[in-house]
Amino acid sequence: MVTAVFPGSFDPITRGHLDMIQRASRLVDRLIVAVMVNTSKQPLFTMTEKVAMISDELTGLPNVEVQAATGLTVDFMASVHATVLVRGLRNEQDFGYERDIAWMNKSLDETIETICLIAQPPYAYFSSSLIKEVAKMGADVSKYVPTAVAKKLHQRLGTDQHD
Catalytic residue among 17, 30, 87, 154: 17
Tell me, yes or no, if 162 is annotated catalytic: no
pLDDT band at residue 81 under the 50/70/90 scheme: very high
Is residue 131 in a domain? no
The answer to whether residue 161 scores a pLDDT higher than 60 is no
Q: Are strands 113-118 and 30-35 parallel, antiparallel or unpaired?
A: unpaired
CA distance 128 to 52: 17
Per the annotation, the verdict on 41 as an active-site residue is: yes
34-54: average pLDDT: 93
- Residue 128 annotated as catalytic: yes
Catalytic residue status for 156: no
Average pLDDT on 89-117 reads: 95
Q: Which of these is catalytic: 15, 25, 87, 128?
A: 128
Percent of the chain with pLDDT over 70: 98
Higher pLDDT, 113 or 40: 113
Catalytic residue among 23, 55, 90, 156: 90
Let me know if residue 52 belongs to a domain: yes
CA angle at 157 for the pair 156 and 160, rounded to the nearest 5° = 85
Residue numbers of the domain that contains 83: 3-125
Is the alpha carbon torsion for 122, 123, 125, 131 positive or negative?
positive
Percent of the residues in the chain that have a pLDDT greater than 90, as a whole number: 86
Judge whether 79 and 88 are in contact, CB under 8 Å.
no
Q: Indicate the pLDDT class of residue 96, thresholds 50, 70 and 90.
A: very high
Model confidence at 40, pLDDT cuts 50, 70, 90, reads: confident
User: pLDDT value at position 162?
Assistant: 54
CATH number for the domain including 96? 3.40.50.620
Q: How many angstroms separate the Cα of 86 from the Cα of each of 8, 44, 135, 147? A: 10, 24, 28, 25
Q: Please check whether residue 151 lies inside any domain of the structure.
A: no
Domain-located, residue 120: yes
Residue 160 predicted with pLDDT over 80: no
Total structural domains within the chain: 1
